[in-house]
């Protein structure tokens, strides 16, 4: 969750990420990112690119978000990881849009 920080009659409001939620789940999610990035070449490339750009913490969070989107797509479509990878190769990249969406990259 993003909460405003330093709200003083300024036109720009900076925001900080809060660490709400279960700390154990957050820890386990970061552990899962490490294992998934070692086994999946696309996630490994993404993680290394973000690591060079942003540093370890932000790279882990960004890769975790990508992993979460993949998990959500797999649960939504009730497919396994092999089917997810097959669809990603066929379409270029998997997107989180709903299957019946008329606009966006997934429908083109």
- pLDDT tens figures, 31-82: 999 999 999 998 999 999 999 999 999 999 899 999 999 999 999 999 998 9
Helices (H), 15-107: 23-39, 41-54, 56-77, 81-91
Confidence of residue 19 (pLDDT cuts 50, 70, 90): confident
Tokens of 15: 């925001």
Is residue 73 situated within a structural domain? yes
Is residue 78 situated within a structural domain? yes
Domain region containing 63: 56-94
Q: What percentage of residues in the chain have a pLDDT greater than 70? A: 69
Is residue 87 situated within a structural domain? yes
d(CA 26, CA 104): 31
- Quote the pTM value: 0.65
Is residue 38 situated within a structural domain? no
Domain count across the chain: 1
Taking residues 86-106, what's their average pLDDT?
60
**Model confidence at 23: pLDDT above 70:** yes
**Model confidence at 88: pLDDT above 70:** yes
């Amino acid at each position: 969750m993003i909460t405003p920080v330093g709200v003083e009659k300024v036109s720009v409001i900076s925001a900080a990420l809060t660490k709400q939620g279960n700390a154990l789940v957050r820890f386990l999610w970061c552990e899962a990112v490490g294992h998934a990035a070692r086994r999946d070449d696309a996630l490994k490339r993404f993680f290394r690119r973000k690591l060079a750009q942003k540093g370890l913490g932000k790279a882990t969070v960004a890769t975790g978000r990508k992993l979460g989107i993949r998990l959500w797509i797999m649960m939504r479509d009730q497919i396994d990881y092999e089917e997810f990878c097959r669809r990603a190769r066929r379409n270029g990249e998997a997107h989180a849009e709903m299957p019946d969406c008329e606009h966006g990259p997934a429908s083109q």
